[in-house]
Structure 1
């Protein structure tokens, strides 16, 4: 464990509820500053590192009272990207259909991003930004959230490119803004939190019987060769109960792919609540998907993993 970072393996929402309760008693002496341009929120809690069954999370609270905001960063494997969720009342003016500006500064430039609106347990609203990177901005296949469709992102979480932990020292704050509202979270230096998150994902990968050093050596990640064959088979099987109720969901598929490109196994991970969504996507991948194996710098095929994102989206 790193100094100043609490480690937990509790269920996420139970852990979050416990933190809210604890902070309700201990939140004294911290004031949220604001001016005409921005709501500036100071740190309220230490970083909490949550060792989940299928992901790693960094959690921190900022501000107090009605200005309280929780920041959640999630990773499902080694990557320069992470999932970002912000939740709390100061975010209620951000509208789902608008682009917002995100910046992790002062070291990185701002970029535009759309989001899904939801809740984080009892904390609302929650702005769910999906996969982002300090360096590369948003990783998104299709920014339009309002079409009846199933969309797929290829290999969003394979460890290629700059490591997340290498970028932490350049980040002291995170800003989300649009033309009417600006909220700034004073995160402090992110080097140690990102290093702790990377250590968590190393341990997570080992639990899949994959060597994180081998995974990190990959130069060319596994590549699906027949996405135009696989995607329609998933699209034709939008779960009927979810469709009837107008439900959408974000689902991650974790595939272990061997040196020949064969899929050893598939695990479904619910990124958002997905109560009425079946495991049909894994079935389709196991039966029909064909992959080019991952390769290291010498061109040798290696056994590693691939993360495939599937967004089930009902029209607005």
Structure 2
């Protein structure tokens, strides 16, 4: 079991001993059973928490690889076992409008210590709050609900004050940026982030091994970009299942990719980074 799934497996083990059927006739409201656990992983930041409703327990795991990319939200618990790929699954944070997950989610089963597999959902592109808004001095003082809806069911989790959570997440992602050799304050203040110059479909031809694996395989790499908009370094952040996928992608990005450079608060070109995020199946060439 890979390290990055450790928190999910620990939650699943606890839930296997507290499984009970939930009623579909009314909203299922879950309250926290723990504070947010923060994992400063080598290449990502992870927030995890468990919630309960009676004897039923669900777990959240939210992972981000940079300050300005959407995260991956993993939900595990028996209530999610009624979701199918035909379900109109959507979610919202607080008073935000519901966000249809569409093709951005997968059904998963996480093994537990009790020998049972706990059902769950992996949302590939998720956001728990606005880190930029928090950085500008705004604060979310009230308790926030995260709501999930599918078919005739509604599940609500009382996640609490999001300002505290986002402060911890921002601190962690800022530390990642420092490890990459950048000043987080400069990157937060950019008047323009790096932008793609050209057609990225012309940049990469994926290896045959990538075309033959399941659509659960995902890839994230960070490209460092100089003041002229040219890539100068590429580092894998998350590449599952296919060992040569990230290496091949980085090699081709360094050779073929072009960007409009980032601009600082005064409009001057500065070094920055761009995160490439993809999920199989890949386009064929």
Give CA-to-partner distance per residue, 1:205-224, whole Å, 9 cap, x none.
Answer: 10111111111011211011
Give CA-to-partner distance per residue, 1:202-244, whole Å, 9 cap, x none.
Answer: 1111011111111101121101112x2x42453x42x333434
Residue 116 (structure 1) aligned with residue 106 (structure 2): yes
Match of 1:89 in 2: 78
Match of 2:121 in 1: 127
**Native 8 Å contact 2:22 2:79 kept in 1:** no
1:180-259 superposed matches below 5 A: 180-226=152-198, 228=199, 230-234=200-204, 236-237=205-206, 239-246=207-214, 248-259=216-227
Whole-angstrom distance in 1 between the partners of 2:164 and 2:269 = 33
Q: Partner of 2:48: helix, strand, or coil?
A: strand
The structure 1 residue matched to 2:66, chosen from 71, 77, 80, is: 77
The verdict on how the C-alpha distance between 1:13 and 1:77 changes in structure 2, with shifts beyond 3 A counting, is same
The verdict on how the C-alpha distance between 1:200 and 1:166 changes in structure 2, with shifts beyond 3 A counting, is farther
1:1-316 superposed matches below 5 A: 11-18=3-10, 36-63=25-52, 67-79=56-68, 81-105=70-94, 107-114=95-102, 115-120=105-110, 122=112, 124-133=118-127, 162-163=133-134, 166=138, 168-169=140-141, 172-226=144-198, 228=199, 230-234=200-204, 236-237=205-206, 239-246=207-214, 248-270=216-238, 273-276=240-243, 278=245, 279-313=247-281
Whole-angstrom distance in 2 between the partners of 1:242 and 1:32 = 39
Q: Which moved more, 1:85-94 or 1:241-250?
A: 241-250
Give CA-to-partner distance per residue, 1:126-153, whole Å, 9 cap, x none.
Answer: 32222234679xxxxxxxxxxxxxxxxx
Normalising by structure 2, we get a TM-score of 0.81
Q: CA RMSD in A?
A: 3.3
Q: CA deviation at 1:54?
A: 0.9
Q: CA deviation at 1:311?
A: 1.8
The verdict on how the C-alpha distance between 1:167 and 1:286 changes in structure 2, with shifts beyond 3 A counting, is farther
Q: CA deviation at 1:252?
A: 1.0
Normalising by structure 1, we get a TM-score of 0.74
Q: CA deviation at 1:200?
A: 0.5
Q: CA deviation at 1:71?
A: 0.9
Q: Partner of 2:166: helix, strand, or coil?
A: helix
The verdict on how the C-alpha distance between 1:172 and 1:202 changes in structure 2, with shifts beyond 3 A counting, is same
**Native 8 Å contact 1:214 1:302 kept in 2:** no
Long gaps (5+) in structure 2:
none
Q: CA deviation at 1:81?
A: 4.1
Long gaps (5+) in structure 1:
1-9, 137-158
The verdict on how the C-alpha distance between 1:257 and 1:232 changes in structure 2, with shifts beyond 3 A counting, is closer
Q: CA deviation at 1:294?
A: 0.5
